[in-house]
Amino acid sequence: AQSVTQLDSQVPVFEEAPVELRCNYSSSVSVYLFWYVQYPNQGLQLLLKYLSGSTLVKSINGFEAEFNKSQTSFHLRKPSVHISDTAEYFCAVTGNSGNTPLVFGKGTRLSVIA
Amino acid sequence: ETGVTQSPTHLIKTRGQQVTLRCSSQSGHNTVSWYQQALGQGPQFIFQYYREEENGRGNFPPRFSGLQFPNYSSELNVNALELDDSALYLCASSSPGRQETQYFGPGTRLLVL
């Protein structure tokens, strides 16, 4: 079984400042890792994912996350945030051995302040 | 390409009633998963359907049931509604050979009074 811990429930940050949203996972098997974003009153949108290969993965809107197996982490970063990045961010994990469900963290609310 | 769609968007029911939520998967996707997201929480896995059969289930009671149809659309049925069933219900679909990557619909918000 897998579990996910998102260490910060809320992260306020000023516009154009950098941000890091932390995610740690637990699993007895090798994993796939995901970040999803949820804007108010909407569903989840896939932001980026790590399946294999390079441990640094990037999204089209400037976010990146690095898979660190030794620290069991998959932190999300952006060097300069915009007002439009205000949303709830969810880290999720699944085992890579077959049809296992996504296990989500409780989410981090990113609030970008003008 | 059409994304995942869900209906209705909002629903109000009373305790003890039954509800059916519907989901159309993204074009080419044959696996559908359902999640419950309570207020302020992350989504919790309910079950998954693949080729019209249940293919995994989370820690939800039997009054949560589902169906998948030949066109890969799906239904979530909840019987004997309880107040704690109030939540956002999310459907996600994934493609053959890439079942780990799930694409979500906008959700159905259910309020049980």
Tens of pLDDT along B22-44?
A: 999 988 899 999 999 999 899 99
What are the chain A neighbours of B48 within 8 Å (beta carbons)?
99, 101
| Closest chain A residue to the Cα of B34, Cα to Cα | A101
Strands of the sheet containing B5-7, edge to edge, are B5-7, B19-24, B74-78, B64-68
Q: Which residue type does B75 have?
A: E
| Closest chain B residue to the Cα of A97, Cα to Cα | B100
Over range B98-106, report the average pLDDT.
89
What are the chain B neighbours of A104 within 8 Å (beta carbons)?
42-44
Residue B94 to residue B35: CA distance in whole angstroms: 14
Residue A6 to residue A24: CA distance in whole angstroms: 6
Tens of pLDDT along A1-46?
A: 889 999 999 999 999 999 999 999 999 888 999 999 999 888 899 9
Tens of pLDDT along B53-89?
A: 998 999 999 999 999 999 899 999 999 999 999 999 9
What are the chain B neighbours of A49 within 8 Å (beta carbons)?
101
Do residues B78 and B63 make contact, with C-beta atoms less than 8 angstroms apart?
yes
Could you count the other beta carbons within 10 Å of the beta carbon of residue B31? Answer: 23
Which residues are paired to B47 by β-bridges?
Answer: B34, B57
Cross-chain Cβ contact B58/A45 below 8 Å: no
Residue with tokens 């009373």: B14
Over range A77-99, report the average pLDDT.
92
Of B90, B100, B101, the CB nearest to A44: B90
Asked if residue B108 has pLDDT above 90, the reply is yes
| Closest chain B residue to the Cα of A41, Cα to Cα | B106
Of A42, A94, A106, the CB nearest to B42: A106
Q: Which residue type does B28 have?
A: G
Cross-chain Cβ contact A42/B102 below 8 Å: no
Asked if residue B1 has pLDDT above 60, the reply is no
Residue A11 to residue B74: CA distance in whole angstroms: 36
Residue B25 to residue A39: CA distance in whole angstroms: 21
Q: Which SS3 state, helix, strand or coil, does residue B85 take?
A: helix
Do residues B7 and B106 make contact, with C-beta atoms less than 8 angstroms apart?
no
